[in-house]
Structure 1
Amino acid sequence: MDSGALAQFLAEHPPFDSLDPDALAAVAAASKVQRFAGSELVVDAFTEPTGEVFVVVDGQVELWNSDSAGEADEFVSRGGVFGFSAMLTERSMGPRAVAAGEATVARIPASVAAPAFASRRGAAFLVEAVTTMRTTARERASGPPTYSLVDDLIVRKPLVVGPREPVGEVARRMTDADVGCAVVLDRDGARGVITDAVLRRRVVVEGMPADTPAEDVMDAAVPTVRTGESAVEAQLVLLDREAEYVLVTTRDGEVRGVLAPRDFAISPTTAGVALHQRLRRAGSVAELTAAARGVPTMLSELLARGLASGRVIAVYSAMLDTVVRRAIEFVFRAHEDLCVDAFTWLSLGSNGRREAVPSSDVDSAVAFDDSVTDAEIDRFRAAFVEVQAVLVGAGLSLDEHGATAGQRLFARTNAQWRAAGQSWLAAPERDKGALLTSLMVDARPIHGDPGLPAVTRTVGDLRRHPGTMRLLLQESLARRARGRPVLHLLSRRPEQFDIKQHALLPVVNMARWAALSVGSHTLSTTERLRTAAGSAMLPDDAARMLIEVFEVLQRVRLRYQLRQVRSGERPSDLLAMRQVSSIDRSVIAQAVREIAAVQRRMDNVSHYVPVEGWTAPEPAG
């Protein structure tokens, strides 16, 4: 194959399809195309480090991603790329590649391949490729369980009881079967579960008679996942709901199994369940803080096992929720005069959006029942300061000058929050109204009555206030991604780059405003962008680009911070660029360019399109 044909071939396959014709021609000219016989070694990068990236031009190649014997980890077919891990880590990480039958492979020097991976589409390719193990139909059909699906975790049939069966008989059957849970099932499907904890609470403590029907005792709020879903998704459901069990059903509603936290221990991608149980069952503040300090190590393990960075971050946010809830419980046990049900605790900022990383501050606010007096609020605030001290002891970060429930500004009754939100919308330029609106829009209840806080609904009604809408847009665009100056600095390897301030926050701010402008109350940055996509202010292609950029930057940020934790350093958003790989420096530079371009476009549109047209569909053509 000559260089012209190779350039044409590469143009049809990611990530090289992101390059312009001249760049493709340069890549093809520097490449070497080789033909391999069946079972012939293509490369063993475990024993001989290589500075090349490999692309399968024809045939198929078997890959071993670890230096061990046994069956291949994956098969790479026509257009598949391998050997790029060295570019990410700047050290040899394999793989060992062997031709599966006759195969043709292009060997591309890493130096000329790097621009393809640094492009926006190339960065997205890397995120998907390095976090997802490709398997063949043969492996799925005949290989051993990977424990990556909920189906793999089911080890026995569930105990099923009828809705009218006496609870005493249900308890006997649970004891005979040696199970901790029974599924209450009728002809319409699962209606709930009866667990050991339910029996203790309803029968032993509350004194319900043994002949009470199962449907009157069951827990109807048990979470459900479907067969074929990932073990990771089921784990996140357990963590988020703090549930004892999760039901596994088919799409037709047939119950296939019941999973408890211990069932996830065999899954290589759900290592966080055991630690989460330690957090939930901690018997003291000392036990809670000791367990919480092990969370960063667990995150590193999840990332190393191939769990996508977005999922790792979601697990971390769920862990933070549990630590906060347990801290509240411990502190209020010592304050029996204060009712723990009188308030709703709100997580703000990145944890409110479920996007927290080890460097993130744990911002918070509290909404009280309207019956709570100002004097009582002051006493509650003193207890909240104790909660914050527990969180600091657990290794979490709190900004003394940021948003915390111990401050009067962030501890109000529901009526006071509603009035404040209305005043912010009416005059956002006064009393930090625009800033507080943006902060409270990210609020997520994690303790107490989730329906109590009216402030989030109030400040979410942005479209009825066009003046406020314009001012909030200006505030959202005020924090600019550093364009040419940052690119210039990056090329000279500056000492530090603040990935949060100069890259991630601009995306977060644009996404928040865009979601408010279309009346969406979703919280995550990527979901906000998806919801608001297609308007004059945020066209589909701009939204897709920002989603890709945000995910890539979060991945770089998380990897860097976990490396800091392993080195005994305090996690920080300030990247020491000399420690960042060349590919990551290129990814950051490209991301900053893309973000700055969207900011400039939104700024321009805001000047020549009336406010009422900002959320209208993007004009055709």
Structure 2
Amino acid sequence: MNEPLVVRDAAMRPVADLLRGPAPTCGPDTTVAEAARLMTTGRARYVLVSLPAGALGILTEGDLRRRVLGVGRGGDVPVAQVMTAPALTIAASTLGADALLVMLAHGVRRLPVVSATGEPLGVVEDTDLLANATRGSFLLRGEIARAEDTDALVAACARIPSLTLGLWRARVAALDVSAILSVVAEAAVRRAVELVGDETRSPAAWFGLGSIARREAVPSSDVDSAWSGDETVDTATTHATAVHALLDRCGLHADDKGASAARPRFARPTGRWHTAIEGWLADPFADQALVMLGMLVDSRIAYGDPALDLAGHTAQMLRSRPEVLRLLLREAVEEKARIPARRRIVARRPEPVDVKVHGLSPVVNIARWAGTAAGLASESTPTRLRVAVERGLLAADDGRVLGETFDVLTQIRLRHQCEQLERGQTPTDVVDPQLLGPLQRSLLSNAVREIAGVQRTLAYAGPPA
């Protein structure tokens, strides 16, 4: 059976790649009659309005119907009186899946796309994002985001496994399935936090950690979490315990190793997080410092105040301590990717392989080091590898090998877990090579061997000068 390699879905492409061209634009004093003409000429259902200080407004066909024709206004009304301003915008690098979630959350059907400097590049519409293979994922995410109570959330989340199977059967690329599953899971976490409630109303943030934050979740992925804010730790952990209890009902289980905001270690006021980060940098051999720093670099705010971000702060602090960054690299290359030896010689059967531990984790760890050194935080493994190569922190061949093997191992892992779901089994990362076809066994063996080769190169020669 071939692996599902075919569909590179709009959901997982940057919205800048989906733009159909520049948007029609006018000034705030332009009449609605002229704005309507610009829409017709530009074959668009909207016009952007340039405002002072780089801000944008937007006037849509719906605005014309509701705010002009519907109330008997004439065509000489300035657009400033009927537009929506300031318009909600998104960055050009935003993934299509995340853009649609923004649309769902704010009740809009189109979003102006801006460059890193704030220049308008065009407008992305919901119809640009709704590919047939992923339409169900967007609908489910919307249902999760609008769940009125805990029972409704549990019922919506019960469809996540069937959604995953549907995407896989539709031959959506494995990396895309992982990213979609991550965004859906994060939407469930956000809604669970909202439904449990925050009685203090103080500034706070709930963080996703690990694979969901990196947009690399699979059916077996746990929900790792952390919390930062102004509440007391007791209040925060009590709240987090209730959130995780609800998520457990949703089939989204907490990390079995304890990376949970329900524990004081992962629930700290913001100042104490910063103090802890400084302590881990000062003594990276104590208190599981490298593990904690790596988890924070991977973190992503699922709910709460963006100003409380820890990923960017941690990455910046790490870059100021290159000796600690080197320790992250050493940790990434010391535990070699490997296929367990054949111990059952008489039976001539290979040992089971934990695809995550023996293959994927080494790539994730190298990419985390390289991405952090390159100035990134909260990014996917493929993105970290690509940027690291662009900035000379990884040799081009090493980056290519790691990227390709990560893709191959994700395909094998997802296929294995989807087949387990079809059989009604609990998904795991442990694969019996005897159950793989000859091609998949060969791909698995070659991928692990190539990862180990890159690890040896980095261990002996280090990164490029």
Distance in 2 between residues matched to 1:584 and 1:540, nearest whole Å: 26
Residues 182-203 of structure 1: CA deviation (Å, up to 9, x unaligned): 845337997336789xx9xxxx
Quote the residue 2:147 is aligned against: 282
Alpha-carbon distance change, 256 to 434 in structure 1, aligned in 2, over 3 angstroms:
closer
Distance in 1 between residues matched to 2:254 and 2:113, nearest whole Å: 41
- Corresponding residue to 1:344 among 193, 205, 226: 205
- TM-score, structure 1 normalization: 0.60
Distance in 2 between residues matched to 1:257 and 1:525, nearest whole Å: 26
Distance in 1 between residues matched to 2:109 and 2:154, nearest whole Å: 25
Query: Once the two structures are aligned, what percentage of the paired residues are identical?
Result: 32
**1:185 maps to amino acid:** L
Alpha-carbon distance change, 259 to 380 in structure 1, aligned in 2, over 3 angstroms:
same
In the TM superposition, residue 455 of structure 1 has moved relative to its aligned partner by 6.0
In the TM superposition, residue 351 of structure 1 has moved relative to its aligned partner by 1.0
Are positions 1:191 and 2:57 aligned together?
yes
- Corresponding residue to 2:109 among 245, 249, 261: 245
Which residues in structure 2 correspond to 1:370-389 (within 5 Å)? Answer: 372=231, 376-389=232-245
Which residues in structure 2 correspond to 1:469-508 (within 5 Å)? Answer: 469-482=325-338, 485=341, 492-494=348-350, 496-508=352-364
Which residues in structure 2 correspond to 1:519-558 (within 5 Å)? Answer: 519-521=375-377, 523-533=379-389, 538-558=394-414
Residues 455-481 of structure 1: CA deviation (Å, up to 9, x unaligned): 641344334324323322222223321
Tell me, what secondary structure is at the counterpart of 1:570?
coil
Distance in 2 between residues matched to 1:235 and 1:523, nearest whole Å: 15
Tell me, what secondary structure is at the counterpart of 2:350?
coil
Distance in 2 between residues matched to 1:216 and 1:165, nearest whole Å: 11
In the TM superposition, residue 453 of structure 1 has moved relative to its aligned partner by 2.8
Alpha-carbon distance change, 454 to 505 in structure 1, aligned in 2, over 3 angstroms:
closer
Quote the residue 1:218 is aligned against: 85
Contact 1:269/1:306 (CA < 8 Å) preserved in 2? no
- TM-score, structure 2 normalization: 0.79
Residues 527-561 of structure 1: CA deviation (Å, up to 9, x unaligned): 11112227887311011110010011111111211
Which residues in structure 2 correspond to 1:158-173 (within 5 Å)? Answer: 163=28
Alpha-carbon distance change, 259 to 470 in structure 1, aligned in 2, over 3 angstroms:
closer
Quote the residue 2:14 is aligned against: none
Contact 1:184/1:214 (CA < 8 Å) preserved in 2? no
Tell me, what secondary structure is at the counterpart of 2:135?
coil
Distance in 1 between residues matched to 2:59 and 2:165, nearest whole Å: 35
Quote the residue 2:307 is aligned against: 451
Which residues in structure 2 correspond to 1:3-14 (within 5 Å)? Answer: none
Distance in 1 between residues matched to 2:324 and 2:433, nearest whole Å: 39
Tell me, what secondary structure is at the counterpart of 1:271?
helix
In the TM superposition, residue 587 of structure 1 has moved relative to its aligned partner by 0.6
- Corresponding residue to 2:285 among 412, 429, 438: 429
Distance in 1 between residues matched to 2:440 and 2:261, nearest whole Å: 37
Residues 545-598 of structure 1: CA deviation (Å, up to 9, x unaligned): 100100111111112111211211111111133322221111110001001111
Tell me, what secondary structure is at the counterpart of 2:307?
coil
Quote the residue 1:312 is aligned against: 177
Alpha-carbon distance change, 594 to 256 in structure 1, aligned in 2, over 3 angstroms:
closer
Alpha-carbon distance change, 586 to 257 in structure 1, aligned in 2, over 3 angstroms:
closer
Quote the residue 2:219 is aligned against: 358
Contact 1:344/1:449 (CA < 8 Å) preserved in 2? yes
Alpha-carbon distance change, 494 to 388 in structure 1, aligned in 2, over 3 angstroms:
same
Quote the residue 1:567 is aligned against: 423
Distance in 2 between residues matched to 1:249 and 1:450, nearest whole Å: 20
In the TM superposition, residue 517 of structure 1 has moved relative to its aligned partner by 2.9
What is the aligned length? 426
Distance in 2 between residues matched to 1:250 and 1:367, nearest whole Å: 30
Tell me, what secondary structure is at the counterpart of 1:344?
strand
Residues 458-514 of structure 1: CA deviation (Å, up to 9, x unaligned): 34433432432332222222332115737999x954362100000000110111112
Instruction: Please list every run of 5 or more consecutive structure 1 residues that lacks an aligned counterpart in the other structure.
Output: 1-85, 89-125, 134-148, 153-157, 174-181, 200-210, 227-231, 607-613, 617-621
Alpha-carbon distance change, 257 to 308 in structure 1, aligned in 2, over 3 angstroms:
closer
Alpha-carbon distance change, 313 to 214 in structure 1, aligned in 2, over 3 angstroms:
farther
Contact 1:235/1:270 (CA < 8 Å) preserved in 2? no
Distance in 2 between residues matched to 1:353 and 1:598, nearest whole Å: 22
Which residues in structure 2 correspond to 1:129-140 (within 5 Å)? Answer: 130-131=6-7
Larger radius of gyration: 1
In the TM superposition, residue 345 of structure 1 has moved relative to its aligned partner by 1.1
Which residues in structure 2 correspond to 1:590-609 (within 5 Å)? Answer: 590-606=446-462
Higher relative contact order, structure no. (Cα contacts within 8 Å, ≥ 6 residues apart): 2
Residues 141-175 of structure 1: CA deviation (Å, up to 9, x unaligned): xxxxxxxx9799xxxxx999984699xx99xx9xx
Are positions 1:291 and 2:291 aligned together?
no
Distance in 2 between residues matched to 1:257 and 1:599, nearest whole Å: 41
Tell me, what secondary structure is at the counterpart of 2:48?
strand
- Corresponding residue to 2:194 among 304, 325, 329: 329
Quote the residue 1:271 is aligned against: 136
Tell me, what secondary structure is at the counterpart of 2:187?
helix
Are positions 1:402 and 2:258 aligned together?
yes
Residues 378-411 of structure 1: CA deviation (Å, up to 9, x unaligned): 1121011000011111111212432111111111
Distance in 2 between residues matched to 1:265 and 1:434, nearest whole Å: 40
Alpha-carbon distance change, 354 to 479 in structure 1, aligned in 2, over 3 angstroms:
same
What value does the CA root-mean-square deviation take over the aligned residues?
4.0
Instruction: Please list every run of 5 or more consecutive structure 2 residues that lacks an aligned counterpart in the other structure.
Output: 10-16, 37-44, 67-77
**1:234 maps to amino acid:** G
Contact 2:297/2:310 (CA < 8 Å) preserved in 1? no
Quote the residue 1:259 is aligned against: 126
Tell me, what secondary structure is at the counterpart of 2:184?
helix
Contact 2:192/2:243 (CA < 8 Å) preserved in 1? yes
Contact 1:234/1:246 (CA < 8 Å) preserved in 2? no
